[in-house]
Amino acid sequence: MIDEQPALAFVEENPGLKILDEEFTLEEYAIVIAKGNDDLLEKVNTALEELRSEGTLDRITKNYIGTDAEKGNYPYEPQDASRGNGTLTMGTNAEFPPYEYYENNEIVGIDVDIMQAIADKLGMELKIEDMAFDSIIPAVSTGKIDVGAAGFTVTEERKKNVNFTDTYATSKQVIIVRDGNAVTAKSSFGEKFYQNFIQDNRYAYMLKGLGNTLIITIFAVMIGIVLGFLIAIVRTSHDRNGGLGILNAVCKAYLTIIRGTPVMIQLLIIYYVIFQSINTGKIVVAVIAFGLNSAAYVAEIVRSGIMAVDIGQFEAGRSLGLNYRQTMTTIILPQAVKNILPALCNEFISLLKETSISGYIGLMDLTKGGDIIRSVTYEAFMPLIAVAVIYLLMVVGLSKAVGVLERKLRNNER
């Protein structure tokens, strides 16, 4: 069961399906605004009323879901209005055509045009944030975005958490089933590849996502290594000589919290709570979240490696006149790193794959890039397999590199 307009778009791309004729209740769509932001609510409602009376709302709708003679004939062009009233940030989920979807690397659709028209009326610059649908209302409530427009149905449950503007569209629920009488031609592998990746340069979504995934992973690994080693040294120092008691207690609490909660929850808390009132880039937030998570596991890996080094090595360092820090850095840690290298590699591989949840805060990562292609082409197999293959190649490459490093370390012992 799905809303009628997206169902029509889906069936048009999949002739082997059809929509049943059963009638269901109508649903009303409205824009989501945070509780307490009555000033913006009033302004948006006023703009909607003006757009409705001018016929602009009707033309925008017809441009996407009108008759064949109407579709594409009423494109909304942003007005040359003053933009001196700041930025209007709109949160949406661009996987819901014809209301919001990607076309030529841009988010377009009914909701986008309506919000652009509202921004023109308010003299504001429209900024669009693509994020998971379930993340839009929390983002509005915490002030991360100003409004949410993603085909939101007005419900009493949602009204408890956010305000709704006046409705701007209605849609009925329909059921899609397989059409047993339809004759569909099977596309070749080459045709599917072209449709999913070459047509409209859709591969660019995955390239951009891959770039962000690598950036997040590399910098998160750096944070994980530095912080993880520091925590491990504090913990082992306490275990060896009983010092650094307060720092050790803080580190233990940190490890318990990070290792005892899902990384996705940590990411959402850091984005929506800790950085609620701070305008920080999403990549920076993701790097911090994944770096802090990785550090907890790196710390225990490093600590186990240090504890595995014979205590006689510490005594040998003292006999050579080295203090604890010198013994740790010149004798203990080199041996520990060599022993824990495979475990560290596995942790970094896990970190690379964990970044696939970055889309929950509206960040374009590799997985999100595949999701966008899937939402446009209605083809799940090719985008998902492509994402899986890219991850696999990165993991295999990382494993090979670590294997080479391990062999070099073994050769240095001879």
- Sequence spans of domains, the chain: 2-185, 201-413
Dihedral of CA 60/61/67/71: which sign?
Answer: positive
Report the C-alpha gap between 70 and 215 in whole angstroms. 44
> Do 110 and 169 touch, CB atoms closer than 8 A?
yes
Look at 65 and 49; give whichever has higher pLDDT. 49
**pLDDT for position 23:** 66
Q: Do domains 2-185 and 201-413 have the same CATH topology?
A: no
Average pLDDT over residues 250-278: 93
**pLDDT for position 180:** 66
**pLDDT for position 322:** 85
* Residue 209: pLDDT over 80: yes
> Do 277 and 142 touch, CB atoms closer than 8 A?
no
* Residue 320: pLDDT over 90: no
Please state which of the ranges 65-79, 151-165, 349-363 shows the lowest mean pLDDT: 65-79
The architecture (CATH level 2) of 201-413 comes to Orthogonal Bundle (1.10)
Taking only the tens place, the pLDDT of each residue in 58-113 is 999 999 987 777 888 888 988 876 778 899 999 999 988 889 999 988 999 999 99
Which CATH class, in words, describes the domain spanning 2-185?
alpha beta
**pLDDT for position 247:** 94
> Do 147 and 44 touch, CB atoms closer than 8 A?
yes
**pLDDT for position 182:** 55
Which residue has 């073994």 as its token pair? 410
Other Cβ atoms less than 10 A from the Cβ of 317: the count is: 18
- Each residue of 254-288: b (16+ CB within 10 Å) or e? bbeebeeeebeebbbebbbeebeeeeeebbebbbb
Average pLDDT over residues 224-253: 90
Nearest to 361 by CA among 53, 43, 144: 144
Average pLDDT over residues 32-60: 96
Report the C-alpha gap between 276 and 270 in whole angstroms. 8
Residue 325's Cβ-count burial label (10 Å; 0-12, 13-18, 19+) is exposed
Give the pLDDT band of residue 368 (cuts 50, 70, 90): very high
Which three-class secondary structure state does DSSP give residue 136?
helix
| Cα–Cα distances in angstroms (integers) from residue 52 to residues 55, 58, 59, 114, in the given order | 5, 7, 10, 10
Report the C-alpha gap between 275 and 32 in whole angstroms. 21
Average pLDDT over residues 205-224: 96
- N- to C-terminal Cα separation, the chain: 67
Other Cβ atoms less than 10 A from the Cβ of 222: the count is: 13
Look at 318 and 129; give whichever has higher pLDDT. 129
Give the pLDDT band of residue 261 (cuts 50, 70, 90): very high
Average pLDDT over residues 246-271: 95
Look at 279 and 54; give whichever has higher pLDDT. 54
Report how far Cα 263 is from the mean position of its chain's Cα atoms. 13
Phi and psi for 108 in degrees, rounded to 5?
-130, 175
Taking only the tens place, the pLDDT of each residue in 174-201 is 787 777 665 555 678 888 888 889 888 8
Other Cβ atoms less than 10 A from the Cβ of 233: the count is: 23
Name the CA dihedral angle for 279, 361, 391, 97, rounded to a multiple of 10 degrees.
Answer: -120
Mean pLDDT, the chain, rounded, equals 89
* Residue 2: pLDDT over 90: no
> Do 292 and 227 touch, CB atoms closer than 8 A?
yes
* Residue 243: pLDDT over 60: yes
pTM for this entry: 0.83
Report the C-alpha gap between 235 and 247 in whole angstroms. 8
**pLDDT for position 371:** 92
Report the C-alpha gap between 358 and 225 in whole angstroms. 21
Look at 407 and 162; give whichever has higher pLDDT. 162
Percent of the chain residues past pLDDT 90, beyond the cut:
54
**pLDDT for position 115:** 97
